[in-house]
């Protein structure tokens, strides 16, 4: 996904990472194609018993430079309403990235890409309000995709390095099942963990959703999900994303 601008996980009380290929969190090796743009405009949110966070607009702009390269810019405006606190809103983090797919399934049997990214504070006031992560995060993931009949599987593994915050691994497995040229079911498991891979530090999320091709140049992407395991105990996080993707 996914397609994205600021990590939608910044909107909920689990570690921050980008929404990569809306409506999913996991990225795939796909690129827009030479000279083409892909703009995602969405509403995302996370809710727990102690409050709600929303991002609108959640923007994700991608540009295809050649058939294998993608340049990405991400940004979101974040709203927070937590129990016992005054409602807040402000700019989330800004994200930049470059994806390079160096293997294609047609020739090598799999799609394989790397997707180095950086996330940094747009304004310091959002960090003070708890709306954006502190410091600059350097993110290095690898994505792989393989087709099995009508179903395709995507895997991702990456590392987040931040001098002012703890380092983390993130990982995910997703599937896509097109039922027609216009409609596709999606699902994923996506998680974070501390650099030592201790299970008590894992945040694991299950998402299901769809992509619907409304026009040749327009898609509607939606997903809903919840946390299966969280580092902060038994408080469950309920997540959603809905948005439009413009293909230019």
Sorted by where each begins, the domain ranges of the chain are: 8-247
Say if residue 33's pLDDT is above 80: yes
Say if residue 164's pLDDT is above 60: yes
Q: What is the pLDDT of residue 81?
A: 92
Q: What is the pLDDT of residue 10?
A: 43
* Joined tokens for residue 148: 């099995």
Contact 12, 239 (CB under 8 A): yes
Confidence of residue 158 (pLDDT cuts 50, 70, 90): very high
In sign, the C-alpha dihedral spanning 49, 137, 96, 202 is negative
Please name the residue ranges forming H helices in the chain. Answer: 105-108, 124-128
* Joined tokens for residue 119: 């996330």
Q: Which residues contact 130 (CB under 8 A, 6 or more apart)?
A: 80, 88
Q: What is the pLDDT of residue 58?
A: 95
* Residue 163 exposed, middle or buried by CB count within 10 Å (0-12, 13-18, 19+): exposed
pTM: 0.89
Say if residue 31's pLDDT is above 60: yes
Confidence of residue 220 (pLDDT cuts 50, 70, 90): very high
Contact 132, 93 (CB under 8 A): yes
Give me the percent of the chain exceeding a pLDDT of 90: 74
Say if residue 235's pLDDT is above 80: no
Per the model's pLDDT, the better-predicted residue between 41 and 7 turns out to be 41
Q: What is the pLDDT of residue 198?
A: 85
Per the model's pLDDT, the better-predicted residue between 132 and 73 turns out to be 73
Q: What is the pLDDT of residue 18?
A: 45
Q: Mean pLDDT over all residues of the chain?
A: 89
Second-level CATH architecture of 8-247: Beta Barrel (2.40)
Per-residue pLDDT tens digits for 50-63: 899 999 999 999 99
Q: What is the pLDDT of residue 122?
A: 92
Give Dmax over CA atoms of the chain in angstroms.
Answer: 57
Confidence of residue 141 (pLDDT cuts 50, 70, 90): very high
Say if residue 68's pLDDT is above 90: yes
Q: What is the pLDDT of residue 20?
A: 60
Say if residue 182's pLDDT is above 80: yes
Contact 161, 138 (CB under 8 A): yes
Rounded Cα gap, residues 6 and 3, in angstroms: 10
Which DSSP string do the residues of 216-241 spell out, in sequence order? Answer: TTEEEEEEEEEEEE-TTSS---EEEE
Contact 85, 53 (CB under 8 A): no
């Amino acid at each position: 996904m996914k397609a994205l601008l600021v990590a939608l996980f910044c909107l909920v009380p689990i570690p921050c990472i980008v929404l990569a290929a809306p409506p999913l969190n996991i990225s795939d090796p796909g690129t827009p194609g030479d000279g083409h743009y892909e703009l995602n405009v969405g509403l995302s949110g996370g809710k727990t018993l102690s409050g709600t966070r929303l991002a609108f607009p959640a923007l994700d702009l991608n540009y295809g430079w050649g058939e294998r390269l993608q340049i990405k810019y991400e940004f979101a405006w974040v709203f927070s309403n937590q129990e016992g606190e005054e409602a807040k809103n402000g700019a989330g983090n800004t994200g930049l990235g470059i994806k390079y797919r160096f293997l294609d399934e047609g020739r090598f049997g799999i799609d394989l890409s790397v997707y180095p990214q950086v996330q940094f504070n747009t304004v310091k006031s959002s960090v003070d309000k708890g709306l954006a992560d502190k410091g600059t995060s350097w993110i290095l993931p690898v994505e792989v995709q393989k087709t099995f009949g009508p179903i395709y599987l995507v895997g991702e593994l990456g590392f987040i390095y931040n001098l002012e915050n703890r380092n983390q691994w993130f990982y995910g497995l997703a599937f896509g099942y097109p039922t027609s040229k216009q409609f596709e079911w999606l699902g994923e498991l996506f998680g974070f963990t501390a650099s030592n891979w201790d299970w008590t530090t894992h945040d694991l999320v299950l998402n299901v959703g769809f992509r619907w091709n409304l026009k040749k140049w327009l898609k509607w992407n939606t997903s809903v999900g919840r946390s299966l395991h969280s580092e902060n105990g038994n408080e469950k996080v309920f997540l959603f994303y809905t948005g439009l993707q413009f293909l230019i």
